[in-house]
């Protein structure tokens, strides 16, 4: 367990149901970059704060599982943001705390650092603000001669107050003991009958000074609906694409490439248009990912060429200088150095040796309806087109599998395997059949 004495703590409020999402899934678990929103925030907060505590709602086992091993507190009734923060008061520790929101997942570590620095420079409380193009229903930050005096929620704001462009992002930072004291004083005398965390701003202003740290709208905008989730995804993808290009990756058409947050592309990787990177992908230097390919849970070696229209599924490792061509699907496959599967092929639960060529239309039959079985193909093997390899089966080094063969038994090294019926010729019969078909066509 984390020692909370004088450490900094991020308290993440995540009890919201996300009613506007029209979903049975807790709002904090909706995904950005193939990762739950809250995990983005936890990852960033851990770069700045010593500890993280997540406030969940009742009956949210999926959320509690997603945030492990971090500690959680439960808001048993949803009575407002101050009520939610108060649920975690025993986990504040003795240092500074920051209250964050799971539906603000894109706050950067730099902005969190600036918030913490503003607090440490002597402010009773530091908060984050923004100036959105459309202020909408955000709470307004009320200042007097450059000092923050209070925050007014949109529902309670006057017309003049609604005209203010500086909006509250919800995030604030103060000493743990001060926060505890302020939370005890918050009342629910407002239009919603809720306990607003924003009420502590006025208390902090009376006790000392409150400073506002401004950050860009796209970093602080909340996610409360599917359309806002899509906008946040667009912001995140722009960040990930820029980071990849800054690291030496060529994106031929950046706006068409979709990344997961854990995608790793080394320098000198080239990615053509319309490529999707699911979770768990690593691509090494010099590899080319061609257009319309889909990669997930896989590793691509140096100088490899994948696609176009290739699908790499979880467990696949393509070694250096391998080729995976159009309409080829690999699932849980080890493709040895220089091996090729260039056309219209499915390989599942297989090992393919160095320098092996797998012909067009080849299939490993890895599933018997109950169990999965593995196919082992050795080095320098040539597998002819339309071969069917019925697992479990092993093809030895330097073997040759004839096109159209169905292979059900192991093939020793260096052997030729023919698993097809013998060709039969019927003299003149082909011409007779054609003539018969033409006559039937003419007769209607």
Q: Is 301 annotated as a binding residue?
A: no
Q: Would the CATH topology of 9-220 be identical to that of 248-417?
A: no
pLDDT in tens, 223-258: 999 999 999 999 999 999 999 999 999 999 999 999
- 204 annotated to bind ligand: no
Task: Please tell me whether 139 is known to bind a ligand.
Answer: yes
Check whether 309 is labelled as a binding-site residue.
no
Mean pLDDT of the chain: 94
| Confidence band, pLDDT 50/70/90 cuts, at residue 6 | low
* pLDDT for residue 2: 42
138 known ligand binder: no
Q: Is 350 annotated as a binding residue?
A: no
Q: Closest Cα to residue 340, out of 349, 350, 351, 352?
A: 352
pLDDT (tens digit, 9 = 90+) per residue, 343-400? 999 999 999 999 999 999 999 999 999 999 999 999 999 999 999 999 999 999 999 9
158-180 pLDDT tens trace: 999 999 999 999 899 999 999 99
Whole-number pLDDT of residue 33: 96
CATH entry 3.40.50.720 includes domain 9-220: no
**pLDDT tens readout for residues 11-30:** 999 998 878 889 889 999 99
Mean pLDDT, to the nearest integer, of 291-306? 98
The residue ranking higher by pLDDT, 330 or 156, is: 330
Q: 193: annotated binding-site residue?
A: no
Which CATH superfamily hosts domain 248-417? Answer: Hexapeptide repeat proteins (2.160.10.10)
Arithmetic mean of pLDDT, 66-71: 94
Q: Annotation-wise, does 420 bind a ligand? A: yes
pTM score, whole prediction: 0.89
Query: Which of the residues are catalytic?
Result: 343
Residue 313 is labelled as binding a ligand:
yes
Structure confidence at residue 1 (pLDDT): 38
Q: Is 27 annotated as a binding residue?
A: yes
Q: Does 16 belong to an annotated binding site?
A: yes
Domains of the chain, by residue range, sit at 9-220, 248-417
* 75 in a known ligand binding site: yes
């Amino acid at each position: 367990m984390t020692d909370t004495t004088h450490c900094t703590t991020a308290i993440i409020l995540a009890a919201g149901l996300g009613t506007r999402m029209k979903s049975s899934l807790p709002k904090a678990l909706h995904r950005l970059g193939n990762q739950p929103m809250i995990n983005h925030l936890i990852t960033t907060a851990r770069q700045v704060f010593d500890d993280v505590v997540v406030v969940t709602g009742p009956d949210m086992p999926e959320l509690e599982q997603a945030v492990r091993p971090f500690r959680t507190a439960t808001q048993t009734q949803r009575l407002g943001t101050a009520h939610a923060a108060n649920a975690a008061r025993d986990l504040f520790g003795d240092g500074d705390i920051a209250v964050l929101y799971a539906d603000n997942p894109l706050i950067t570590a730099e902005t969190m650092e600036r918030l913490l620095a503003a607090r440490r420079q002597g402010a009773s409380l530091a908060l984050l603000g923004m100036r959105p193009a459309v202020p909408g229903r955000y709470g307004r930050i009320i200042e007097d001669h450059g000092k923050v005096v209070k925050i007014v929620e949109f529902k309670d704001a006057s017309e003049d107050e609604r005209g203010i462009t500086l909006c509250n992002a919800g995030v604030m930072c103060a000493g743990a003991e001060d926060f505890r004291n302020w939370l005890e004083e918050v009342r629910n005398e407002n239009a919603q009958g809720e306990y607003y965390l924003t009420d502590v701003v006025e208390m902090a202003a009376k006790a000392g000074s409150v400073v506002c740290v401004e950050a860009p709208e796209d970093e602080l905008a909340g996610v409360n609906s599917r359309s806002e989730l899509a906008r946040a995804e667009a912001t995140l993808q722009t960040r990930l694409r820029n980071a990849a290009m800054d690291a030496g990756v060529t994106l031929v058409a950046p706006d068409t490439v979709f990344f997961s947050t854990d995608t790793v592309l080394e320098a000198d990787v080239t990615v053509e248009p319309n490529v999707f990177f699911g979770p768990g992908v690593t691509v090494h230097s010099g590899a080319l990912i061609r257009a319309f390919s889909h990669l997930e849970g896989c590793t691509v070696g140096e100088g490899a060429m994948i696609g176009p229209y290739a699908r790499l599924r979880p467990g696949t490792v393509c070694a250096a200088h391998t080729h995976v061509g159009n309409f080829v699907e690999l699932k849980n496959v080890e493709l040895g150095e220089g091996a090729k599967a260039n056309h219209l092929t499915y390989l599942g639960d297989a090992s393919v040796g160095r320098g092996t060529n797998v012909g067009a239309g080849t299939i490993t039959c890895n599933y018997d309806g109950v169990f999965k079985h593995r196919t082992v193909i050795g080095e320098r093997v040539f597998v002819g087109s339309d071969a069917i390899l019925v697992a479990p089966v092993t093809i030895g080094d330097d073997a040759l599998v004839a096109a159209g063969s169905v292979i059900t038994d192991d093939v020793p090294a260096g052997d030729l395997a023919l698993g097809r019926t013998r060709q039969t010729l019927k003299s003149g019969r082909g011409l007779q059949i054609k003539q018969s078909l033409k006559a039937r066509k003419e007769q209607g």
